[in-house]
Amino acid sequence: MDFLLVIKNEITENKLEINKMRKIVLILILVFPILTVLGQDVWTLDPGHSRIRFTVTHHMISEVDGFFREFEATMKTTKDDFSDAVFEFSTKTASINTENENRDKHLKSPDIFDVEKYPVMSFKSTSFSQIAGEHYKVTGDMIIKGNTLPITLDVWLVGPVENERAKRHELGFKASGSLMRQTFGVGENLSTLSVSDEVGLRITGEFNKSY
């Protein structure tokens, strides 16, 4: 009987230890994301000092530029050198502007961006690697017209600097890259002899640190 009692007590103690470990693991699972967020810097793009532009080649001889009027972007990082940053931006496709009313109307139509069906295009980085100094390579997923494909951007970060008058830290941002519009279903029936398949992207502006 004593032997059985010892075994029973050991089983009970093991169950208590297992339950204790489960509680510890659960606490860690719940607390870790909170600690990560608390240690994270969030930078928000200042739309008044920023622009998202694109460039295409027209008839294989000249460039035509455009931009989006409505957009937002953030960067989140836990490191001062931004090497673990997550960069996201989104634009409202209906805000496209090439300073030509008829062309803009066509760009918003189902032939090109189909803005009523796909009102937003977006990007979220999957890697943010420092090349040298202010130069970074950023790879991420671009979503246009429901199609998600990876693209890579060259990024330059300038700063951050302290704006003593505004009582905030600011970061200069420049990004450039390109994508092939037809792979995203943009103007699939539009000849590349008329408008190039390759579209150049350029994002410039200032990020403000959130507190």
Q: Residue 201's closest CA among 181, 168, 179? A: 179
Q: Residue 199's closest CA among 142, 146, 155, 157? A: 142
Domain 41-209 annotated CATH 3.40.190.10: no
What pLDDT score was predicted for residue 93? Answer: 98
Please give the chain's pLDDT, 211 residues, in tens.
555 555 556 666 666 666 666 654 454 444 344 434 447 999 999 999 999 999 999 999 999 999 999 999 999 999 989 989 999 999 999 999 999 999 999 999 999 999 999 999 999 999 999 999 999 999 999 999 999 999 999 999 999 999 888 788 999 999 999 999 999 999 999 999 999 999 999 999 999 999 7
Q: What is the pTM of this model?
A: 0.79
| Rounded distance between C-alpha atoms, residue 92 and residue 29, angstroms | 36
Q: Are strands 62-68 and 120-132 parallel, antiparallel or unpaired?
A: unpaired
CB contact at 8 A, 69 and 99: no
Is the peptide bond between 160 and the residue preceding it cis, with omega within 30 degrees of 0? yes
* Helices within the chain (DSSP H only): 2-38, 101-108
CB contact at 8 A, 176 and 154: yes
Domain ranges of the chain: 1-38, 41-209
CB contact at 8 A, 44 and 208: yes
71 CB-contact burial (10 Å; exposed 0-12 / middle 13-18 / buried 19+): buried
| Rounded distance between C-alpha atoms, residue 194 and residue 182, angstroms | 13
